[in-house]
Amino acid sequence: MKFGTKAIHAGVEPDPTTGAIMTPIYQTSTYVQKSPGDHKGYEYSRTHNPTRTQLQNALAALENGKHGLCFASGMAAVDAIIKMLKPGDEVISTNDLYGGSYRIFTKIFQNYGIKFHFTNMQDLDNVEKLINRNTKMIWAETPTNPLLNIIDIKGYAAMTKKHDLLLVADNTFATPYLQTPLDMGADIVMHSLTKYMGGHSDVVMGAVVVKDDELADKLAFIQNSCGGTPGPQDCFLVLRGLKTLHLRMERHCQNGRKVAEYLKNHPKVGKVFWPGFEEHANHAIAKEQMRDFGGMVSFELKGDKVEDATRVLEKLKLFALAESLGGVESLCGHPATMTHASIPSAERLKAGLSDSLIRLSVGVEDAEDLLADLEQAIG
C-alpha cells in the first residue's frame, strides 16, 4: 500500500463484535476470563487494551516496523528506551537536542550512573571519536529541535552496526510521511505523538517502533512494569489523527516552504533555519532521506536582539505563542525560555541556539494569511 492508503487502513480492522469501521474506545480496566489464564488476549489495560493495540499496529505499519508500543507521553517513551541501559553505560547524542530529552538524560538518568555525551552529530567523525567500550547507544534527532539540523541516519546506522550499538531515531519532526528511519538502519524509532501524528493539539502521547523481536520484548516489559501507558480515549484520538497525516503533512510542507522563503528574503531577518535551502549544511542528506522538508522553520532577526524577538512574538496573531508543535494551527515559540529552558545558556549558545531564536510550527492555514501575519509582526 502507498502511504496515504496505509495511514487510513494499515494495522486497523473493523470491530469484530459490531463491525464498527472506527476502532471503539474500550474504556475498561479489566477483562473477564473464562478460566484462570484462559482469556481473549486481554487481562488488564495497563498491559493491553484493544484500542491501544490497533494504534500500535497502525504505527508499526506506517514506520515499516514490526512492533509498536505507545506511552503516556513522548518523554515516557524516551524514559522506557533509556531504561534498557544500566549504570556505567554511555550514550552519544546531538548538542542541539530537544530540551526535554536533554533534561531527562542529564537530570534523571545521569544520577543513576548513565553517562551522556553531546556533540555536533552533523559530522560523523565527532561521534566516532567518542565511542568507547561503555558506549551502548547513539541518539539521533533529525531534523533537530529547534535548529533544523539534519543527521545522516544511514551513516550512523553503518557506524552503530560496526560497533554493535543501538541507533535510536527521534522521528517527531519528520513523521513517517517524510522519512522511515528503520528502513535506513535505525534500531528504534520514537515519537512524541502529541505533535504531527496526533496533529490537533488535543492529546499527549509517545510511541516507540522497532523491527527486532527481542527489543520489542524488552520495551514491552518496561511499558507494562513501569506503567507509563496511555488511556483508550487518547489512543482513539491519535488513530483519528493518523488518517489525515499524509494530507496534513503535505500542506505543512507547502506552507513551511513559503514561510521559509519569505523570511529568507525579508530585510529585517538574519539567519533562517530550514533544511530545504540548498545552502543548508546537510541539504543533500535531507534531500536523500526525506520526502520533503517539513513545516518547522526557525529564524533570527538582524541584530539578534532578544527584545526585538520578544516584540515579534507578542505581535503575531495567527501564530499563537505556545509550547508544542505539529498541530493544524500555526504556533510560534521562544526556545531559550520555553522548550529549551532546561539546557544551560552556555550549552545552548555553544550549539548555535541564540537567545533571540524564534521557532515556527507552520500550520495548514492559507499561506497568504500566515505571510501577512509575519509581515505585520516583523514590519
46 is catalytic: yes
Location of C-alpha cell 494569511: 369
Among residues 31, 42, 46, 183, the one annotated as catalytic is 46
31 is catalytic: no
Q: How far apart are CA 357 and CA 300, in angstroms?
A: 5
User: What angle do helix axes 306-315 and 367-378 make, rounded to 10 degrees?
Assistant: 130
Q: Output phi, psi for 306, to 5 deg.
A: -60, -40
Cβ–Cβ under 8 Å, residues 358 and 306? no
Burial class of residue 353, CB neighbours in 10 A (0-12, 13-18, 19+): buried
Location of C-alpha cell 527481542: 214
Amino acid at 263: L
Closest-CA residue to 268 (of 309, 315, 298, 297): 309
170 is catalytic: yes
Residue 363, all three cell numbers: 500550520
302 is catalytic: no
Q: Tell me the three state secondary structure of residue 273.
A: strand
Among residues 195, 248, 251, 348, the one annotated as catalytic is 195
Put the strands of the sheet holding 206-210 in their side by side order.
67-71, 206-210, 188-192, 166-170, 135-141, 90-94, 115-119
- Chain centroid offset of residue 319 CA: 21
Pairing relation of β-strands 166-170 and 67-71? unpaired
Residue 285, all three cell numbers: 542528506
Pairing relation of β-strands 188-192 and 206-210? antiparallel
Cβ–Cβ under 8 Å, residues 271 and 309? no
Q: Tell me the three state secondary structure of residue 216.
A: helix
Q: How far apart are CA 76 and CA 37, in angstroms?
A: 29
Among residues 26, 98, 196, 262, the one annotated as catalytic is 98
Q: How far apart are CA 249 and CA 209, in angstroms?
A: 20
Point out the residues that are catalytic. 46, 98, 170, 195
